[in-house]
Amino acid sequence: MYFNDSAMDINRNNYETFFLLYLDRELGPADMQAVEKFLFENTDLQKEFALLQQTIFLPAEMVFEPKELLLHKEEKRRVVPIYWIRIAASILVMITAGWFILAEVSKNHKGEMARNNQAPVANVSSKKDPVNTVGKRVKTNTDQANLTREKGLTENKNSGEIPNQYKALNQTGDADPGMKNQNDIKEKNNLKQQNPRANSIPDESQLAIQKSNNSLEIQRGEIRTGSDPKQITALAGTQAPALVLTTTISNDQLKYEKADLKEQDFQTENAISIVALNDRNKAITGFFKKLTKHAPDDEKNNARKVRVSVFQFSY
């Protein structure tokens, strides 16, 4: 942008302004040519133009020596080459971390599922259908954790001896090879709760063991046998006083009491015993055990059946 007074031409009245604008290089090419032409035509003004020209200061070379102090030095970024081995290692680390995370999430999910499905699952046979419970597969709330074991127990009432299969189960806990393949067979030792009338269980009685879920943990312990329930003060694996729920013959109503393990009405016919084995983690783990009536169609053998189902209550 040129600063000029192009609206008017240079003349002897305004030449000083044109001279100054010319010296300050604020005129356009046309105005500059007009000034030069004016000077050529008015030689008497050339001296005055020269004086004004001498008022222009010539730039002097000056150096600001501490210039380095003003400079800001940037840290050079270090370029790290990415090699294939580093990429592979990174991928491996991510995959490993992802695998662990998935495993942990899956584990937690299973735990939640187990707690959610820990409703009482004991499918205790009722009086009305004592026969159908014999050898019947007991269904659980969780399919994957369902371990139903039906094992026929035949016992000679007269002999009063526990069948060999039952003995093996009681003594080793590994009598059934099929159970070895199950992950949750810990409870089977504890299922061998003393039953004073076990010796009188007739042949073909069956023991059904149901595990509610994987999280059910019943510690292995000493198998307690005997005829006197008072001798049983605690079940193996229990860490707190057991909760004993029993039924009475008269009204079939459950009652409970907190005490060391007792099974007062255990021997009664058609009684349902609920024995807590563990109350860790806000849950009561135990099993139902029922001794059925005589099978009506098996009068001659006086067959009776015991059914045991494991449960876990959350509270």
Partner 1 sequence: MTAEDYNDCVKLYADGLYRFMLKSTRQVEDARDLVQSSFEKLWEHRSEVNALKCKSYLFTIGYHKMIDLNRKNSRMEFRESLPDHLEVAPRAYPRLKEVLEKALNRLNERQRSLVLLKDYEGYTYEEIAEITGLNITQVKVTLHRARLILKEWLVSVENVL
Residues that bind partner 1 (CB under 8 A): 1, 3, 16-17, 20-21, 23-26, 51-52, 54-64, 66-67, 69-72, 74
Residue (65 or 299) nearer to partner 1, CB: 65
Residue 32 Cβ vs partner 1, minimum distance, rounded to whole Å: 15
Query: In terms of C-beta distances under 8 Å and separation of at least 24 residues, what long-range contacts does 226-230 make, across chains too?
Result: 226/194, 226/196, 227/194, 227/196, 227/199, 228/196, 229/194, 229/196, 229/261, 229/262, 229/263, 229/264, 229/266, 230/262
Residue (20 or 131) nearer to partner 1, CB: 20
Residue (19 or 311) nearer to partner 1, CB: 19
Residue 69 Cβ vs partner 1, minimum distance, rounded to whole Å: 7
CA 210 to chain centre: 26
Residue (25 or 180) nearer to partner 1, CB: 25
Give me the DSSP letters along 180-223: HT-S--THHHHT----TTGGGPPTTEEEEEEE--TT--------
Residue (56 or 80) nearer to partner 1, CB: 56
Residue 60 Cβ vs partner 1, minimum distance, rounded to whole Å: 4
Residue 40 Cβ vs partner 1, minimum distance, rounded to whole Å: 21
Residue 14 Cβ vs partner 1, minimum distance, rounded to whole Å: 12
Residue (7 or 58) nearer to partner 1, CB: 58
Specify the DSSP class assigned to residue 70. T
Residue 24 Cβ vs partner 1, minimum distance, rounded to whole Å: 6
Dist CA 271 CA 196 (whole Å): 13
Residue 84 Cβ vs partner 1, minimum distance, rounded to whole Å: 34
Terminal C-alpha separation, the chain: 88
Q: What single-letter amino acid sits at 272?
A: I
Dist CA 149 CA 211 (whole Å): 9
Length of the chain: 315
Q: Tokens 């046998």 — which residue?
A: 225
Residue (1 or 85) nearer to partner 1, CB: 1
Residue 61 Cβ vs partner 1, minimum distance, rounded to whole Å: 8
Contact 202, 134 (CB under 8 A): no
Residue (51 or 80) nearer to partner 1, CB: 51
The neighbouring-strand residues paired with 6 are none
Nearest to 12 by CA among 38, 34, 40, 50: 38
By DSSP bridging, strand 272-278 and strand 243-247 are antiparallel
165-to-155, 170, 224, 280, 301 alpha-carbon distances in Å: 10, 9, 17, 32, 19
